[in-house]
Chain A
């Protein structure tokens, strides 16, 4: 099942397939270790529905929903 990071449910694992978005955002996401092939999990969503907290490469990182939507994943 393919989708974006923004569509994951809390606790759900996924594998990154692509990172899109404008050049600078894409670069920042890649630098933080979110790149194709990496496994990532949605930990929780903030009480107001945005941003979202993910666990990747053994650390946690928060992304806004709009940023998470730039990362396409396949659910695991």
Chain B
């Protein structure tokens, strides 16, 4: 921690502090516009945004702190607010003042935090929001009286409409030049005395602590049991300090709990202020929110709306994102091929790096954007609307059984489409432990990237049978795969919440905000923020990983392998030329193959044949053999060109039978060459893969994956799919010498079915297929998920734990599956 010295004469910083749901983010955006960045604090999972507001010739840095109901710091996350106010974070400048946001419609509760902030004595301006909402409920706030009571200026603002912003900025600018005065609250004398004594003791410890404590922090230390400040101070002060703290707490409590003493004093003072500054018309009828809630939280109608909304969210992430994702993949595949095509032909490594490493990697990052943006579109709208709290209210009972909260539902549901938006969506959960548990569970939900693996394995190894007369066995296995993850997630959640992420109680105190119409600007801002943060923070990691895996598959790239396959290519060429020469001799009195291909008549016949084939292919009604039937058509076309050609054609017919034309012979020879060249290319790719570092890893881990029924090829494909699970399909294609394939490829299916192990028995059985599927259902082979987890938790600890735990679970799951399935004869 350092004491920032960002404040200069011409440059000031203010912190934006307030409760959640009071319009803090809109005010921040209205003040700073697009000029903002995110400040991450070490060791915590919350972040602050930093932006710049301009007032006349002054630049004011605005630090948007996480919304909170209190400055009590029971966890490192909650401590961010105080530390940022004191300028103890390197990433955010030291605030010279505070903009305290108060919601006029629930002013009493907002002022609880307000009194805590005002005790720091920083120059403060109150921004009063939601005045219109308050007015609709019959509440009017007298800003002059409120200002007199609090001892700081009060400005009414309506950020979405731009009202009061200039006045707010002018007032902030004015107060920044005057030191503030700490607010004095009517705490009992014993309490005040204890705070003063503790403050004096803390100041003596400031060298050991590494920062200069303040009186409000002494108050927090006195009242808040546990928490990070408590631990730090006890470490610095030792057992003597612990005794002193206990004595002071006993002295201050006067028989009541200290939290009650604090709350009584603050709310007591607030009640006194409100008698003067707030007027409420009695007898307000049911508000609109009440009426809407009567439906949306109704047993039947509420549940129905909930199911419909969740169905819509899931469907859109799962299905609607698909065409966008396919286009992004297609675009980057094409770009990669095009750009690498511009590079010199002998720079094979560079071409592969550009095509597979760079463009493949960038495409692999951007492909997640549609799902992220769609989920956050819904989250932003539902959150703005106030429905997120209602959804959590409806689901909490079920989720709390697994140690989660109602707010975990949407992130986990979205994870069935993709864990990345799921992990990012977990930030809507206020409680840190519940948020971390939800993030940890997200990759257990069977996402769409596992589908290619399931499709391939089920298509190849699960027989097309029906069970009980109507259930397809293949569909049943697919269904079971979705349950594997959920069933593994439940005990994991329970263990996490009772073990590492244990908190004595995880309170579900949740404000139910009034319904509001979502604002387009807000929604767009959220989309821009989430999308941008994913690309910047997670994208770089994903790109790096895909380049590393590319390199592991490319190197050492032994040139001897190339030479060997080049020799094969050359002999294929020679054989092809010889065949053409033979045709020439038979067909046109001693022409060489080269001359034959230059013969106008033959070229024209080839062109005819191509046109005919194209027509056939478009038609798809007949297969290639039918081409022979079109001899007449071909002959007729040729006749027009040359009588001599027709004569030669007839001569050839006599020799080879009616089904043959010279054009077809040449085409067959060409096709044969192309086929053998593709086979050679694929075999070369497989040979390089075998020899690559990744291939060597595959060989090295073979003893480890044997008990799962795998050989080195499956082991290597599993390792290669670390960046993304679906990569296993392509890697298997390469190793089995098939070139580029997808999961529906018949060739790959056939190759897997026919693949043999070293002892000549089939490599893959139903048991092996199931073991591969269970492994991929449970593993966390997804660099993007891990990168997003690191970004959201601001530490490598969680992604590493997640990867290690899920890999171990996947291994055990696959092991048990294979051994049991084999014992049952699968």
Chain B 638-664 near chain A by CB (<8 Å), digits 1 or 0: 000000000000000000000000000
Are A46 and B72 in contact, CB atoms less than 8 angstroms apart?
A: no
Q: Does B605 contact A (CB under 8 A)?
A: no
Contact of A44 among B260, B297, B504, B511 (CB under 8 A): B297
Are B297 and A57 in contact, CB atoms less than 8 angstroms apart?
A: no
Are B297 and A32 in contact, CB atoms less than 8 angstroms apart?
A: no
Q: Does B685 contact A (CB under 8 A)?
A: no
Are B112 and A33 in contact, CB atoms less than 8 angstroms apart?
A: yes
CB neighbours (8 Å) of A35 from chain B are 260, 263-264, 267
Interface residues of B in 271-296 (CB under 8 A from A): 280, 289-290, 293
Q: Does B327 contact A (CB under 8 A)?
A: no
Are B109 and A32 in contact, CB atoms less than 8 angstroms apart?
A: yes
Task: List the one stretch of B391-399, B456-464, B607-615 in contact with chain A.
Answer: B391-399
Q: Does A61 contact B (CB under 8 A)?
A: yes
Residue in A closest to B290 when the chains form the complex, CB atoms: A43
Are A51 and B396 in contact, CB atoms less than 8 angstroms apart?
A: yes
**Given A27-B72, A33-B108: A47 and B257 interface contact (C-beta under 8 Å):** no
Are A51 and B397 in contact, CB atoms less than 8 angstroms apart?
A: yes
CB neighbours (8 Å) of A27 from chain B are 72, 74, 223-224, 259
Chain B 249-273 near chain A by CB (<8 Å), digits 1 or 0: 0000000010110111001000000
Are A46 and B259 in contact, CB atoms less than 8 angstroms apart?
A: no
Q: Does A67 contact B (CB under 8 A)?
A: yes
Are A53 and B298 in contact, CB atoms less than 8 angstroms apart?
A: no
| Residue among A31, A46, A48 with most chain B CB within 10 A | A31
Q: Does A12 contact B (CB under 8 A)?
A: no
Are B69 and A32 in contact, CB atoms less than 8 angstroms apart?
A: yes
Q: Does A19 contact B (CB under 8 A)?
A: yes
**Given A30-B259, A32-B109, A50-B396: A61 and B509 interface contact (C-beta under 8 Å):** yes
Are A24 and B74 in contact, CB atoms less than 8 angstroms apart?
A: yes
Contact of B504 among A24, A31, A53 (CB under 8 A): A24
Are A60 and B508 in contact, CB atoms less than 8 angstroms apart?
A: no
CB neighbours (8 Å) of B620 from chain A are none
Are A62 and B397 in contact, CB atoms less than 8 angstroms apart?
A: no
Bound-state Cα–Cα, A71 to B302, Å:
28
**Given A61-B510, A62-B512: A53 and B108 interface contact (C-beta under 8 Å):** no
Bound-state Cα–Cα, A1 to B472, Å:
61
Contact of B108 among A48, A57, A63 (CB under 8 A): A57
Query: Chain B, interface size: which category?
Result: 35 or more
Interface residues of B in 194-247 (CB under 8 A from A): 223-226
Are A28 and B507 in contact, CB atoms less than 8 angstroms apart?
A: yes
Closest Cβ of chain A to B781, distance in Å, is 36
Bound-state Cα–Cα, A58 to B134, Å:
10
Closest Cβ of chain A to B473, distance in Å, is 36
Q: Does B400 contact A (CB under 8 A)?
A: yes
Chain A 49-72 near chain B by CB (<8 Å), digits 1 or 0: 111010001111111100100000
Closest Cβ of chain A to B768, distance in Å, is 43
Give the dominant DSSP class at A's interface: mixed
Residue in A closest to B267 when the chains form the complex, CB atoms: A35
Closest Cβ of chain A to B428, distance in Å, is 15
Q: Does B595 contact A (CB under 8 A)?
A: no
CB neighbours (8 Å) of B257 from chain A are 23, 26
Are B297 and A64 in contact, CB atoms less than 8 angstroms apart?
A: no
Residue in B closest to A60 when the chains form the complex, CB atoms: B512
Interface residues of B in 298-316 (CB under 8 A from A): 298-299, 302-303
CB neighbours (8 Å) of A21 from chain B are 505
Are B297 and A47 in contact, CB atoms less than 8 angstroms apart?
A: yes
**Given A24-B74, A58-B139, A59-B105: A46 and B393 interface contact (C-beta under 8 Å):** yes
Are A31 and B106 in contact, CB atoms less than 8 angstroms apart?
A: no
Bound-state Cα–Cα, A44 to B751, Å:
61
Q: Does B140 contact A (CB under 8 A)?
A: no
Are A58 and B137 in contact, CB atoms less than 8 angstroms apart?
A: yes
Are B224 and A64 in contact, CB atoms less than 8 angstroms apart?
A: no
Are B508 and A59 in contact, CB atoms less than 8 angstroms apart?
A: no
Are B260 and A19 in contact, CB atoms less than 8 angstroms apart?
A: yes
Bound-state Cα–Cα, A51 to B780, Å:
34
Residue in A closest to B227 when the chains form the complex, CB atoms: A24
Residue in B closest to A33 when the chains form the complex, CB atoms: B109
Closest Cβ of chain B to A30, distance in Å, is 4
Closest Cβ of chain A to B502, distance in Å, is 13
**Given A22-B505, A31-B69: A64 and B396 interface contact (C-beta under 8 Å):** yes
Are A46 and B398 in contact, CB atoms less than 8 angstroms apart?
A: no
Are B259 and A53 in contact, CB atoms less than 8 angstroms apart?
A: no
Contact of A24 among B226, B398, B510 (CB under 8 A): B226
Closest Cβ of chain A to B292, distance in Å, is 12
Are B508 and A31 in contact, CB atoms less than 8 angstroms apart?
A: no
Closest Cβ of chain B to A48, distance in Å, is 4
Are A31 and B389 in contact, CB atoms less than 8 angstroms apart?
A: no
Are A32 and B225 in contact, CB atoms less than 8 angstroms apart?
A: no
Q: Does B807 contact A (CB under 8 A)?
A: no
Contact of A23 among B259, B290, B508 (CB under 8 A): B259
| Residue among B280, B293, B406, B509 with most chain A CB within 10 A | B509
| Residue among A21, A25, A46, A61 with most chain B CB within 10 A | A46
Bound-state Cα–Cα, A37 to B398, Å:
33
Are A46 and B397 in contact, CB atoms less than 8 angstroms apart?
A: yes
Residue in B closest to A38 when the chains form the complex, CB atoms: B267
Are A46 and B297 in contact, CB atoms less than 8 angstroms apart?
A: yes
Interface residues of B in 479-516 (CB under 8 A from A): 503-505, 507-512
Closest Cβ of chain A to B271, distance in Å, is 9
Residue in A closest to B289 when the chains form the complex, CB atoms: A60
Bound-state Cα–Cα, A20 to B443, Å:
38
Bound-state Cα–Cα, A62 to B507, Å:
10
Closest Cβ of chain A to B513, distance in Å, is 8
Are A48 and B259 in contact, CB atoms less than 8 angstroms apart?
A: no
Are B225 and A23 in contact, CB atoms less than 8 angstroms apart?
A: yes
Bound-state Cα–Cα, A75 to B503, Å:
32
Residue in B closest to A35 when the chains form the complex, CB atoms: B263
Closest Cβ of chain B to A36, distance in Å, is 8
Residue in B closest to A31 when the chains form the complex, CB atoms: B70
Residue in B closest to A52 when the chains form the complex, CB atoms: B393
Bound-state Cα–Cα, A23 to B225, Å:
7
CB neighbours (8 Å) of B503 from chain A are 24
Bound-state Cα–Cα, A47 to B390, Å:
11
Bound-state Cα–Cα, A59 to B69, Å:
13
- 11 interchain pairs, CB-CB under 8 A: A23-B226, A26-B257, A27-B224, A27-B259, A30-B259, A46-B397, A47-B298, A53-B293, A53-B297, A58-B280, A59-B512
Apart from A19-B260, A47-B394, A63-B509, list 20 A-B contacts with CB within 8 A: A23-B225, A23-B226, A23-B257, A23-B259, A31-B70, A32-B109, A35-B263, A36-B260, A50-B396, A53-B512, A57-B108, A58-B105, A58-B106, A58-B108, A59-B109, A61-B510, A61-B512, A62-B508, A62-B512, A67-B507
User: B interface vs A, CB < 8 Å?
Assistant: 69-70, 72, 74, 105-109, 112, 137, 139, 223-226, 257, 259-260, 262-264, 267, 280, 289-290, 293, 297-299, 302-303, 389, 393-394, 396-398, 400, 406, 503-505, 507-512
**What 4 pairs between A and B have smallest CB-CB spacing?**
A30-B263, A48-B397, A60-B512, A59-B106
